[in-house]
Amino acid sequence: MKRKFIQIRCLVFVAVAFLMFGCAAGSKVIMKQESYTPSFRTADFGRYKGKTVILDNFINQASNTKTWGYNSADNKVYYEATTHLESYLWYCFQKAFQQMGMKVYDQTYGGYWGPYHPYHPYWWGAAPPPRAQAAVKGATEFQLILTSMTDQEVKFQVLLLKNGENKFQKDFTATANPVSSQDARDLEKGAYKLVDQMIITIFRDRDFQKVF
């Protein structure tokens, strides 16, 4: 009887330890678009300064992501944005484009409907104001489709349109070195650097440069 009691206690101890350490094995990192600041030299992309771009809606088609974020390559860390993942990327790109000196419009052609609605196409039923139409006439429309994402590799497609015509469509892959630290702040910085790599990969592409 005593031996059976000891066995039960051991099983309970193992179960509790599994719950404690098993739950601790995975961690979450919060990514905030307002905390993102491009860490690359925007001056290196001076060729884009003064250009006008319309940031179309970003689309998430990556089956290895969730609505709000993505996992690390080893599935030990979950990176969660404070808005939908595609919206988080949209805002980061907007900030980077602006720091490069570009004039950036969303699909409201200059409007802003709050942090959870970065794009509101006028083809939903209303035409853009004449002033807004003039401001973006002939501007390049930029769209991104996310196809895969971890903390070390992002695969995506970029489309460029001018006057409603598709002028560019290409698949890209951006990579980043794994963060050696397990500190949440370092992992968060690593997430922002991954966005940097996405932008750098696009703007260094010769085919992209010919069209944009």
Mean pLDDT on 138-159 = 96
- Crossing angle of helices 184-203 and 85-99, in 10° steps, is 60
Whether residue 186 has pLDDT greater than 50: yes
| 172 backbone dihedrals φ, ψ, rounded to 5° | -130, 155
Please give the model's pTM, rounded to 2 decimal places. 0.77
Length of the chain as a residue count: 212
Q: Are 175 and 19 in contact (CB under 8 A)?
A: no
pLDDT tens digits, 127-148:
444 444 445 677 899 999 999 9
Q: Domains plus CATH for the chain?
A: 2-211 (3.40.50)
pLDDT tens digits, 53-66:
999 999 999 999 99
In order, the DSSP letters of 113-173 are --TT-----GGGT-PPPHHHHHHTTTPEEEEEEEEEE-SSEEEEEEEEEETTEEEEEEEEE
Q: Which helix (H) or strand (E) holds 207?
A: helix 206-211
Token output for 84: 């939908």
pLDDT of 151 reads 97
pLDDT tens digits, 20-51:
333 334 799 999 999 999 999 988 999 999 99
Token output for 67: 């609505």
20: left (phi over 0), alpha (psi -120 to 50) or beta: alpha
Measure the CA–CA gap between 50 and 65, rounded to whole angstroms: 34
- Please report, rounded to a whole number, the percentage of residues in the chain having pLDDT higher than 90: 68
Measure the CA–CA gap between 103 and 53, rounded to whole angstroms: 6
